[in-house]
Chains A and B, each alone.
Chain A
Amino acid sequence: MNLFCVGLSHHTADVETREHFAGNAAIDQDLREALGCSEGLVLTTCNRVEVYAVSENVVPTARVVQCLCAHGVEAREEEMDAFYRYEGWRCVQHLFRVVSGLDSMVIGETEIFGQAKKAYDAAHSSGSAGRFLHRLFQRAFRVAKQVRTMTGITRGSVSVGSVAVDLAEKIFGHFEARKVLLLGAGEASERTARALFKRGVRDIRVTNRSWERAQALAALISGSAVRLHEWERHFREVDIVICSTASQKPVLTRARLAPLIRDRLDRPLFIIDIAVPRDVAPDVHEMEGVFLYDIDSLQSIAEQSLALRREQMTSAESIIDEHVNDFSGWFTAARARLIEGTSLRPSKS
């Protein structure tokens, strides 16, 4: 009885190769029948294509790869090199790492959990996932939840857009009563405003050189358009300013802001400058109660969050190792019982 995994991922294959196999991944049952395995499951995401299977006899990697290829097409040699194979406890460890997000392109991302669950559900419905894969995947989901709870592997945002929203949350907490002003109606500011709207901001004001564009964007994000000459009046009321004008010179300077924030000393002001060239003079960040983040500083926070996640990997790995040992013990015993011909009764693991 062999438990193994054959696959490729962003670590070993470029996107073109991944596309090639992802597009042709046969459904679990067909693949299982073609390989002659007792259980089989295909996990396909944009970053990986992996086959998890349980078989009586050893199934060569080349045969698994061939099953993943389109009908009548042979895998090229360099594509074959992109495939890896894990057996026994290494296969268990690999799956636990994958489902926990440790093997992902963005460490700690949680999307893979849902994708693995979907793949398992499909295999379960088709009858391709038997008691071994059932036990393996259920344990993997448990491990992933434990890793998420016990470590900071999913903490913080690692994309620029999400970092801006996270920072706003760290300054203001709840968003319901917050007011946002968009200076410029570019696509980037629209995306950030949408993210803030999703998190609860209900007062979004848009000002732009083109009045029509301001109105159009305001309508898209359930906000209100503000005439360009009136933005300073609105500036006194808002908490978050998103700048993305096409101006070649800074629109907001320290001298221009000083009178606008004088009477709002007790309320912080968060300025997100996503324009290039920048709309806000860098020394504005030094003003009392003003937090200015441009593209570079948002990127820097994203990188720091990623570094914090990497630091959590050791703790996550030790949680995984414990479960790998435990599961491997169960698997070995279950396999021995099966070989001896005794009935396999699931034990509590």
Chain B
Amino acid sequence: MDRELLIFSTLCFCFAMVRTAVALRARNYRPGGFNFFAIALGFIFQTGALTVRGHAVGRCPLTNLFEVFIFLAWSVSLIYLLIGPAYRLSLMGAFTAPLVFALQTFALLAPIDRPRLISVKPSAWLELHASVSLVAYGAFALACIAGVMYLIQERQLKRRRINSMFYHFPPLTDLFAAITRLVWLGLILLTVGLVAGFFTGQPLPVLHIAWSLGVWVFYAAILIARHLRSIAPRAIATLCIVAFSAALTLLWGITFVSRAHSL
């Protein structure tokens, strides 16, 4: 049942992505509510799938890499639905849909949905630690998307060549403000997640701690550099893309390696 719901959800994101691609190809892209509603519908299916999975495993569904990816995709959709309307919702949705589609398609197709025998009893701190940390990654993913949009728009302005999407992009200063706020949001959530991790009452895996602290330090450094005005917005946008890509790769790697540290 949960996989079926996820397939429906993935199709919603696929529709949003294909529709945008076709419109761009026809050079006839225009903002509208379609992407927002497609993502909202996809989010409802995601929530349904996670709920079904949660009941099945008797805890927050973060017991294997499959669930981690789905939860991450859900977090990205959640943050987009919360902050999207504040910016050009349809356009940000055009960039969000492919990311969520990629995450879910990978989760559904890759052989990563293997049931784990988990000896640890579910605890509120552990669930808070895992879920809030992944929602933080949702915020970092949106910062990465805003970074991509910033670089595209900046490039158009620098090259003095515009395309059909130019007039739909938010202003550069708005995108930069969005990046900053999303990194702040992600960092605060990650801090809460990390602190919660210390209250789980279990031995903390060194690899996870090092990775989490590394991500935290990286994003904190981005914010410090931004507020000290020591690097340009373009560099900050690039760093957000690099940081999220690296964090996602490491998340996969570490979750894969560190089988012991699961809920």
Contacts and interface: CB of A to CB of B under 8 A. Distances in A.
Contact of A297 (B160, B176, B230): B160
A301 B28 contact: no
| Central interface residue in A150, A265, A285, A293, by most chain B CB within 10 Å | A265
Contact of A155 (B153, B160, B167): B167
Interface string B154-196: 0001101111101101111110100000000000000000000
B27 A308 contact: yes
A305 interface: yes
Contacts of B27: 308, 311-312
A2 interface: no
Given A152-B164, A266-B226, A266-B233, A167 B28 contact: no
Interface in A204-245: none
Contact of B166 (A170, A266, A315): A170
Question: Chain B interface mostly helix, strand, loop or mixed?
Answer: loop
A341 interface: no
Given A170-B153, A266-B229, A305 B28 contact: no
B162 A173 contact: no
Interface residues of A, number: 31
A315 B160 contact: no
B157 to A, nearest CB: 5
A169 to B, nearest CB: 7
B234 interface: yes
Contacts of A264: 229
A304 B173 contact: no
Interface string A22-48: 000000000000000000000000000
B109 to A, nearest CB: 36
A297 B162 CA distance: 12
B30 interface: yes
The 10 closest A-B pairs by CB, nearest first: A173-B171, A288-B232, A266-B229, A297-B160, A173-B174, A311-B27, A171-B172, A265-B232, A155-B167, A265-B229
Interface of B: 27-28, 30, 153, 157-158, 160-164, 166-167, 169-174, 176, 226, 229-234
Interface of A: 150-152, 155-156, 166-167, 169-173, 263-266, 268, 285, 288-289, 291, 293, 297, 300-301, 304-305, 308, 311-312, 315
25 contacts: A150-B30, A152-B28, A152-B167, A156-B162, A169-B171, A170-B167, A171-B173, A172-B171, A172-B173, A264-B229, A265-B232, A266-B176, A268-B172, A268-B173, A288-B234, A289-B233, A289-B234, A291-B157, A293-B160, A300-B160, A304-B161, A308-B27, A308-B162, A308-B164, A312-B28
Given A289-B232, A312-B27, 10 more contacts: A170-B157, A170-B167, A170-B169, A170-B171, A171-B171, A268-B172, A268-B173, A289-B233, A289-B234, A301-B160
